[in-house]
A and B are shown apart, each in its own frame.
Chain A
């Protein structure tokens, strides 16, 4: 009897906690009953809609961790450019497998870990506001990772927690997407084989973090990143190195620029002429800045090659 009570209490406490931190609730009307949704909405009631069933419209909602969603009024914006200083040239990767199918000539392939555009703009750099704790709701946008010509495309993508990532193979050869849940590549996030052309697999990203992905099927140069985020104040730089983040609640923030690093730190030759590579650690630059209401703030980063 005692145990049952304890269990009941434990359950109640868990749900109590769950109640306190009202997570973003699923829409009331889902899936197959779309027509009902319309029917409900047609009633014209203010709180009868799909999003406000819980009745907390306008009150604070916690998404994940310590980020709180609230309406941003008169937010500022942040834009700028990331430039690269140094020598971006990097040694080509040796290709010993599937050279013809990957469209490789001469047994070498160029690295896609660094892309420097006009005016030394550094592409594929992740800009994020590190210490933001509240702001607008993140957009759950699904992403697609294509494997084409033995490269991952796009190379780096932001994925909001809860959004789906579609993996796609456009090559007629075996690839696998071996994603790790940490930068050190010690734990798996998932590892999916994609032996068929035009095969698609959908994975849901359920945690925040940097998830490097590699192909173990003999394509040592293939690598890409998913970055799991829980708030919308993240951006990736375009090919010119530019970025923009909007609707930031005014305040002082720490802004971080992260680039994966491109130089080969060490390589070990395998018996088949291929190499196993280790890369330099990522570049991280952090800056403090104040965002003023309704104003445009500019912030530039410079990443210096090691």
Chain B
């Protein structure tokens, strides 16, 4: 052994000596002089074996290292660890679940299984001993055998028959009448036989089926027991299947390839690849939901935590934290844990943050989005290709993040910003609450007045403010001046933002607006007659529907809504609580009589007030004045007439862009937006923002990120202002929810377009639906009506009697005939009678054109996934008998107890207390199918309605079984449906003589009675 090493040592020494010489010679030869002389002294004579040996050794070692590095996966494949972790944890959870079934409940489980099985055996046993059952099963088998035999005989006869029929036809072809006649007799015989046999087969089959049904009744018990046993065993099988799946899961890069998914910076579609699932392996595994898997956490101190600003938002800096007392520190930790629920826990006096990527994604949204197609980055952003967490997330400031990646992972609510890539025109996404709120706010606050917004052309956008062309005929200079100084002082939640005007600028603008009014000759308000009754005015204001849009008296929008800047429900119109200070009575009276007189584009509809009603309301509203505590600054009336001031005022109006929200003067209205376009705002990086004098470490502007800047801008637009670059944007006074919602919406405004093949099918229906949703908000239909899941209809809370509330409109598309609805929109009072004249709240007259109403009509149909069609609904096919049956039922059911049919005037109907719509107009108002469904189950279409069920819940029973219908083979349900149709036909028939005539002529006596008429 010793010698062996010695030999090796010697060998190595010799080799090294040889190598030294060789290298020396090689160096010598490699020198320029010797290379020139190479031809004389060929290199082949030299031995380079040792050099080759050395390098091949190095190559071998590096290959081994590369292979090791590849398969160990520490450096190059960090995701492997998590796939393995996922498999191991999954198995562990499955095992614990199985234990829960088998071991924890072991005794009970086995006992139950054994008992079920013995019960099954007993049941089988006793059935076999039970004579009635034995006889029954014998009969059944006999009949079954018989049936088989009969069927075989029948088939045989048929075969003979067709064989002879062939011979018969052949004979006829050959004019061989002798044979033909002979066979004809045979054929006739077969015919009789076939008929007889068929009948026999049918009868036997019927009998057999009867027996089978009876047998089933007995065997039901055994089958049920079987099912129970199976379900008990099934749990274990399911767990075993899951375990198998974990074992078989491959350790590989799981990726989604999206060809031509979205555009790059040059506007071309390129391929995106998402490999997020390689680490986030548990995203669709419900075993990893919070219930079974709590996650892995690591402890960090608060100082470390506060440093992780790319991931967590902290209100308190680590220095501030250190200065606090231990109890307060504890509170801060708890607050942080509450804010980052699921990601951060309190652990002693430290924090524990989740370190594993095996989170389970909430399943709701996955039901409607195919992740195998659109990947993860389409919502969450980040670098999908990267296989290292820091590169994949690329959040600004994260250790080892990719500086060059422009779309870092989005946090929290900002995930919703991605919704807009595909749902570009939707403003009420059920699973995108924040982004929807943001989009609504953007339109409500009139951001489009100064900025260009994406997809603006797809909505009927209007200027959000009132006309100022002759504003002093409405307000007074003192009010306007004080309003301009800070509108939020007067109404804290007004839409008008605070421009932080200097007193002199406010005065100049007031002067300019006064001069406009002075020059105007077009608008002359009516004169307020001055006989208003304040008390009656108040009750009218609170009852006829003003409160559907306006806050007045006890109706306070800001108290109802967490986001008072949102213009829905009672916050849609201005607060009226100080309106007496704001306007003068002539203008108010004129405005109430016809709002369009003052400003033709106003959203305020007419409530068809009589002169007396308008006077009463005017009288009431004029009593609502500001409190004396609230002081107005005096305005120098003489200065308002100064031409210089007026000119300066005009300059200010143009500079601030007042015309973005208000109609001012023809030439000013035409000016372009005063501020930047926001259509591609999300593509800006934080380097492109000017943070002004705000310092790093300011908790609002977290780490100087995109989100931080935008939120800061919305929250306090002038905070980035410097002496060199003063900013103009006014302050909207929004709360944090609103600020975040708007920022989330803007985060989705990018020039990166998603290819249509990845988008949901955008067709007419979607367009109708989205535009309609905008329309019903823009006119605040949802202030009074419940439509779909809009959180609206706040007026409902003010009306105690459900029957007196504005109706639900979700089903309007299937409820009313389109031409009737249009007639109703244009004339809600229906020439004096209305539908429910006894209710106090009024459907206003909006004075829209038919085109505008089209948005609403198409929307109602789109809710029900229907296109506009031109069906004649009055063409209901029926028979006089059916109508007569409907009439009889109508009387029997005492429908007239609540409904009138035609009958007396509406006033009398109201007096009689029959508080249900007059059915005389049903045939021109309602769609036939709706009447049918309504009669079947009214509360399913309008929850809380007083109309009771006559046929159970959806035609499940009838109270008046009809023997004639029973003879036609109808069961209870079919009978109920037929009776429902009969009542509908009666309602359609009674006022519509033409229809009755037409249908009588075309009536089809053979029609199947239980088929639905269309």
Contact = CB atoms under 8 A, between A and B. Distances in A.
Nearest to B897: A174
Nearest to B287: A9
A5 B241 contact: yes
Contacts of A276: 801
B20 to A, nearest CB: 64
Contacts of A43: 122, 126
Given A271-B911, A272-B913, A216 B218 contact: no
B516 to A, nearest CB: 49
Given A35-B132, A39-B130, A97-B913, A55 B112 contact: yes
A218 B896 CA distance: 12
B34 interface: no
A260 B691 CA distance: 65
B246 to A, nearest CB: 9
B337 interface: no
Given A28-B119, A191-B949, A174 B893 contact: yes
A199 interface: yes
A56 B119 CA distance: 13
Given A29-B221, A45-B122, A55-B112, A192 B949 contact: yes
A56 to B, nearest CB: 8
Interface stretch (B231-239, B436-444, B860-868): B231-239
B893 A195 contact: yes
Contacts of A1: 245
A100 B143 CA distance: 63
A20 to B, nearest CB: 7
Nearest to B214: A32
Interface stretch (A46-54, A158-166, A282-290): A46-54
Interface stretch (B578-586, B741-749, B939-947): B939-947
B599 interface: no
A55 B116 CA distance: 8
Interface in A14-38: 15-16, 19-20, 28-29, 31-33, 35-36
A176 B948 contact: yes
B950 A33 contact: no
Interface residues on B, range: 35 or more
A96 interface: yes
A9 B98 CA distance: 11
B176 interface: no
B286 A36 contact: no
B638 interface: no
Interface string A212-254: 0000111000000000000000000000000000000000000
A28 B118 CA distance: 13
Given A54-B112, A193-B950, A217-B897, A12 B943 contact: no
Interface stretch (A102-110, A121-129, A142-150, A182-190): A182-190
B948 A9 contact: no
A278 B284 CA distance: 52
B126 A178 contact: no
A96 B913 contact: yes
A201 B959 CA distance: 8
Given A191-B949, A272-B912, A196 B286 contact: no
B47 interface: no
A112 interface: no
Interface in A256-306: 270-274, 276, 278
A271 B217 contact: no
B898 interface: yes
Interface string B793-820: 0000000110000000000000000000
A133 to B, nearest CB: 21
Nearest to A276: B801
Interface in B216-236: 217-218, 220-221, 224-225, 231-232, 234-235
B892 interface: yes
Interface in B517-570: none
A1 B285 CA distance: 11
A56 B238 CA distance: 25
B242 interface: yes
A96 B913 CA distance: 9
Contacts of A190: 949, 953
A173 B838 contact: no
Nearest to A169: B959
Interface string B59-101: 0000000000000000000000000000000000000010011
A130 interface: no
Contacts of B225: 28, 53
B111 interface: yes
B221 A28 contact: yes
Nearest to A56: B112
Interface residues of A, number: 61
B947 to A, nearest CB: 8
A28 to B, nearest CB: 6
A62 B912 CA distance: 53
Given A55-B115, A195-B893, A195-B894, A272 B286 contact: no
A12 B239 contact: yes
B880 to A, nearest CB: 24
A47 B115 contact: yes
Interface in A86-135: 96-97
Given A9-B286, A173-B894, A191 B939 contact: yes
Given A55-B111, A173-B894, A186 B944 contact: yes
Nearest to B951: A193
Contact of B218 (A3, A36, A270): A36
Nearest to B804: A276
B119 A187 contact: no
Contact of A8 (B112, B241, B892, B910): B241
Contact of A6 (B286, B939, B944): B286
B728 interface: no
Contact of B944 (A33, A177, A188, A271): A188
A51 to B, nearest CB: 12
Nearest to B916: A216
A36 B126 contact: yes
Contacts of B130: 35-36, 39
A156 B280 CA distance: 58
A10 B286 contact: yes
A200 to B, nearest CB: 9
Contact of A216 (B97, B101, B231, B946): B946
A139 B101 CA distance: 32
B127 A36 contact: yes
A15 B220 contact: no
Contact of B284 (A3, A55, A192, A193): A3
Given A10-B286, A11-B238, A193 B112 contact: no
Nearest to A186: B944
Contacts of B948: 176-178, 191-194, 216
Interface string B115-135: 110010011001101101100
Nearest to B101: A16
A245 B234 CA distance: 44
Contacts of B112: 19, 54-56
B910 A272 contact: yes
A12 B234 contact: yes
Nearest to A96: B913
B280 to A, nearest CB: 14
Nearest to A14: B235
Per CB-CB distance, the 8 closest pairs between chain A and chain B, nearest first, are A272-B913, A55-B115, A193-B948, A176-B948, A174-B894, A12-B238, A8-B238, A216-B946
30 contacts: A2-B245, A5-B245, A6-B287, A11-B234, A12-B235, A13-B97, A16-B97, A16-B235, A20-B105, A28-B119, A28-B123, A28-B221, A29-B221, A33-B218, A36-B127, A36-B133, A39-B126, A55-B112, A174-B897, A191-B948, A195-B959, A196-B959, A199-B959, A217-B894, A218-B897, A218-B898, A270-B913, A271-B910, A272-B912, A273-B913
Given A193-B893, A271-B911, 19 more contacts: A8-B241, A9-B239, A12-B239, A13-B97, A15-B235, A16-B101, A19-B101, A28-B224, A39-B126, A43-B122, A53-B119, A174-B893, A188-B939, A191-B939, A192-B949, A194-B948, A195-B894, A199-B959, A218-B898
